[in-house]
Amino acid sequence: MSQQPEKVRRSHRKSRNGCGPCKARRIKCDENHPDCLNCVRRNVVCHYNAKTVASTVASTPRVRRERTSPNTEPHHSREHSIQSPVPTTRSPTTTPLQSVQTPSQSISTPPSDSGVALPRLNHDPFDASDMALLHHFFVAVAPTLADDGGSPIKWRAQLPRAVFASDCSLHALLAVSALHLARQRPMQREECLAKATEHHALTLAPLIDSLTHLDEHNAETTFLAAVFLCYHNLAKGPQPGQYLGFGDQADGEWIWVIKGVRTVLSMVRPFHQPPAESNDSPMAISNHSLREFAPTPSSTSPVLDYEAPLTELSRIVALLEGEALSSTKYMQAVATLRTAFEACFPSSQEAQEAKSGVTEVQTRSVFRWLFCLEADFCQSLERQSPIALLIFAHFNVLVHQLRHIWYMEGWSLHIMQGILKHLPHHHHSWIQWPREQVMGAD
């Protein structure tokens, strides 16, 4: 009688020689040694059970009992704990991302054999840690991206419908959520950052494919993914040698991100023509997210005496006009920058008449200037032209106003340090005012 189950199991052609992580995730393993492709792509430790690889089919019932008894064999504990992209020292039955606690509720991982069906994309199924990240986004992250008191409701109601319709937008959202969680949980930072990197990588190929086959069905979700890529690049914090508009290697990563979003926006705009009264579509939410990089507006208007410094900036650029091959690009950048300052720091009367809109205008104007830079100016900034760096230093004063937002922390100081590094020392007097605003008076 004991041999009957073994005979039945011999009849099927499925292999039970897959690696531990693939078994834990319940996905097909290619059984390559020493590392399977799934583990290489997910950057996790690939391990095979030597007994499983070398044994006959008769050993299969014992292996199955190990999977259904979480604490009976050390081998099972190792399998289960590897679900996390970065191994941790926590209990093997739950990874840090599989139980995201909030003030009112939490999400826990169901056992791998519970039969719970998780959503599937075209590549791998989501695991419980991804579901926890999704929950964390709508509970903790979405309110920080909202433009006003009503927008969190729109994000929670409309955004799920948009992201579930698109691989790239969902992965981009989860990447931002993981970065936010990394800030909230320092002890689990490395694991959260690994999840953010994983989802960011899974965003790029579908996004490129969507742009290649852009139509009215995927235009909004494509733009939404691009928006979340911007959030991701901001939220991962200042990177060595990259200063938002330029870099040590003259290949400013962020400038290319900005150009990419502008390109996406220009491509999807013809497909988006909602009713004038509609503000609930994914595209409308996306547009809000591009311009509303701010927390709840304060009751007082920001005050900054910028007239004299900007007048001096215009004078310096005009004096250097003869040295530039295309000086109009600099004067135009200064003119639009002045408009941004005027919008960010309205008069007292304007602030009293529109208190709730002060921060909204400020943040929209900051990023509008960045997204509307002319290609010639961007190239000069990438080449670290002194005039372009001078103008960008004054723009950084606006970036400094957003320093209290979680995904803007550290950016203004990092940018100013990069400008001081690449601007010739004899020109440092040009940026005395923006330097004092960001770094304080010496």
Written as one string, the DSSP assignment of 210-239 is HHHT--TTTHHHHHHHHHHHHHHHHHT---
Model pLDDT, residue 404: 87
Sequence letter at residue 321:
E
Sequence letter at residue 323:
E
User: Whole-angstrom Cα distance, residue 16 to residue 181?
Assistant: 36
User: What does pTM read for this prediction?
Assistant: 0.64
Model pLDDT, residue 30: 85
What is the b/e burial string over 161-170, where b = at least 16 CB atoms within 10 angstroms of the residue's CB?
ebbeebbbbb
Element at 327 (helix H, strand E): none
Give the contacts of 61 (CB within 8 A, at least 6 positions apart): 5, 6, 9
Q: Which of 88, 319, 98 is nearest to 191 (CA)?
A: 88
Model pLDDT, residue 363: 62
Residue in the structure block whose two tokens are 């040590």: 248
| Contact in structure between 96 and 178 (CB atoms under 8 Å) | no
The DSSP symbol for 148 reads: S
Burial of 171 (0-12, 13-18, 19+ CB in 10 A): buried
Model pLDDT, residue 55: 43
Residue in the structure block whose two tokens are 């690939």: 46
Model pLDDT, residue 421: 95
Local mean pLDDT, 10-residue blocks, the chain (442 residues): 54 72 83 81 73 42 39 40 38 43 36 37 68 92 64 63 84 95 93 94 86 80 86 90 84 69 72 46 43 38 80 90 66 91 70 45 71 84 92 95 90 96 94 94 52
Model pLDDT, residue 145: 75
Output the CA torsion sign for 354, 359, 267, 209. Answer: negative
Model pLDDT, residue 244: 86
| Contact in structure between 40 and 55 (CB atoms under 8 Å) | no
Helix axes 375-382, 253-268, angle to 10 degrees: 160
User: Whole-angstrom Cα distance, residue 27 to residue 69?
Assistant: 20
Model pLDDT, residue 87: 37
